[in-house]
A and B are shown apart, each in its own frame.
Chain A
Amino acid sequence: MSTITLAGQALEVDEGGFLLNPDQWTPEVADDLARQAGIDPLTERHWQVIDFCRRDAAEKGTPPSLRRITKVLGVPTKELYTLFPKGPGILAARIAGLTKPKGCV
């Protein structure tokens, strides 16, 4: 656990950089989290994904899997990798202020 300052707030994050207190998330925090991950700026398309992840997590209690994002939101996997390079499932969840996707064990 460590503390970082984003969008003028001191925020506690875990070792993976995920917010420990989801109530501290704001769109400005998302902008800063994205910038840290090399995404600048967040486009409308990014926000579609982030908004979906937040809505779905609120409903299901856990961030959506990659397949769920592609299938339900309709953004192809290839595009998700362009929007959120390396690991879109994990990165989108982190920027959206959610927990790390469980990967189901």
Chain B
Amino acid sequence: MKKLLILGGGTAGTLMSAKMRRALPRDEWAITVVDQDDTHVYQPGLLFVPFGVYRARDIVRSRARYAPRGVELILAGVDRIDPDASKVRLKGGTELSYDFLILATGSRIVPAELEGLTGPGWQESAFDFYTLDGADRLFHALSRFDRGRLVLNVAEMPIKCPVAPLEFLFLADWHLRKRGVRENVELVYATPLDGAFTKPKASEVLGQLLIDKGIRVESLFQASEVNGQDRTLSSWDGRQLPYDLLVSIPTHMGSQSIGDSDMGDELAFVPTDPHSLRSKGWDNVFVLGDATDLPSSKAGSVAHFQGGVVEENLLRSIGERPLGDGFDGHANCFIETGFGKAVLIDFNYDTEPLPGRFPLAGIGPLRLLKESRFNHWGKLAFQWIYWNMLLAGRELPFVETRMSMRGKWT
């Protein structure tokens, strides 16, 4: 019996297990998924928890419930991967061997990477919203917050869902207005980027939204230190930003097990071929989702688009055929803008987000790079699609693996 081992039972790992179970004969291939816990978080939902739109329990399900029939799920941490010997040792000592390995180990926040962030005031006046616990604590703090300065800081790129900081600020503006306290609060966006977003056309549209909503931008702000006693955030070039409430998007890193196994770069992301999605180091290791070092977005839509490419190339590898270079960096993101509206963007390695209609050219019903109510409904409906279609590794209606120029205005 041959073995396919998948490390990580999140978005990427779960959808890959479903795809490969359909593609590989059961009497020839065993498929095993390993994850450290049984808590599958619908991560796009974390954004809504601080504003009380979702409760933490609304966005969590059991991983076991989504393990396809014929796939073994092991709940244990990974101690060490030995890719030269094609073996993985789990915490507790169990050793697993594999013929092919899929790394879907994701990324995690490491708040301690920013000096002082986890010191005095952590989770009292300084919060994250990239964990269930952090988002829930921020919900309580935000519901009491009615005056002062709220600073949102991105510590370092790359982060999961690069548009989340903007969405958080748009929703904070909406939340504070709804409560009638917006005029007592200053909203500040401190980002290491030189604008609202890294892609020019989208940066223009989103930058204008920040201006319209009265949100101040501190660009090229590379945070050096948090002083929780004085409630001040400092940057390496000497700027100081006093805050009453700090919302931090801390440094992201790949899984600890990747770092411990010397398989990652300086942030423990795995060097990966940008088109074939095979690891650069080992021919029988494929990588997808947040775990890669690729310049594509760390987002669920990207894991979904990569899934089809990894399936194809894994089957080619098994059949000893040359790999295809199917991945083009395709990402598709809803950007919640508050007041029941959202913007949708669709882009890849080479083409920046453009205006237009999606997914049907000229018809939509979704609008690209423009606010609409329908986009917002699309974003909320997506949770159902996620649990019922995306995790099952199914194609989504009208949405293709490779980005299409149809419906885009150039």
Enumerate chain A interface residues (CB-CB to B < 8 A): 62, 65-68, 71-72, 77-78, 81, 85-87, 90, 102-105
Cβ of B197 under 8 Å from chain A: yes
Beyond contacts A71-B266, A104-B162, A105-B162: 11 other A-B pairs, Cβ-Cβ < 8 A, are A66-B156, A67-B266, A77-B222, A81-B236, A86-B237, A87-B222, A102-B295, A103-B198, A104-B157, A105-B158, A105-B295
Give the CA-CA distance A72 to B193 in the complex, in Å.
22
Q: In whole Å, how far is B205's beta carbon from the nearest beta carbon of chain A?
A: 15
In the bound complex, how far is the Cα of B199 from the Cα of A67, in angstroms? 22
Assembled-state Cα–Cα distance A78/B157 (Å):
18
| Chain B interface, DSSP helix/strand/loop, else mixed | loop
Cβ-based interface call for B297 (8 A): yes
6 contacts between A and B (CB under 8 A): A62-B295, A68-B265, A77-B236, A81-B236, A90-B220, A102-B198
Set of chain B residues within 8 Å of A85, measured between Cβ atoms: 237
CB < 8 Å: which of A67, A71, A78, A102 contacts B236?
A: A78
> Which residue from chain B places its CB closest to the CB of A104 in the assembled complex?
B158
Give the shortest distance, in Å, between B305 (CB) and chain A (any CB): 15
- B contacts with A, residue count (CB < 8 A): 20
User: Of B156, B224, B266, which is within 8 A of A72 by CB?
Assistant: B266
Smallest CB-CB separation from A67: which chain B residue? B266
| 3 interchain residue pairs of minimum CB distance | A104-B158, A71-B266, A105-B198
- A64 to B293 alpha-carbon distance, docked (Å): 12
A90 touches B194 (CB 8 A): yes
- Residue pair B297, A67 in contact (C-beta under 8 Å): no
B254-269 CB contacts (< 8 Å) to partner A: 265-267
Identify the closest chain A residue to B251 (Cβ): A67
Contact in complex: A81, B266 (CB < 8 Å): no
Q: Which residue of B lies closest to A66 (CB)?
A: B222
Residue numbers in B under 8 Å from A103 (CB-CB): 157-158, 192-193, 198
Task: Give A81 to B197 CA distance when docked, in angstroms.
Answer: 23
Q: How far is the CA of A36 from the CA of B237 in the complex (A)?
A: 19
| 0 or 1 for each of B155-169: is its CB under 8 Å from A? (1 = yes) | 011100010000000
Question: Measured between alpha carbons, how far is A31 from B226 in the docked complex, in Å?
Answer: 36
A85 vs B157: C-alpha distance when bound (angstroms): 19
Chain A contacts for B267, CB-based, 8 A:
67
| Cα distance, A102 to B352, chains bound together (Å) | 13
Q: Which residue of A lies closest to B191 (CB)?
A: A103
Chain A: minimal CB distance from B314 (Å) = 25
B contact residues around A81 at 8 Å (CB): 236-237
Within 8 A of A (CB), among B200-227: 220, 222, 224
State in angstroms the CA–CA spacing of A62 and B296 once bound together: 13
CA A102 to CA B158, docked complex, whole Å: 10
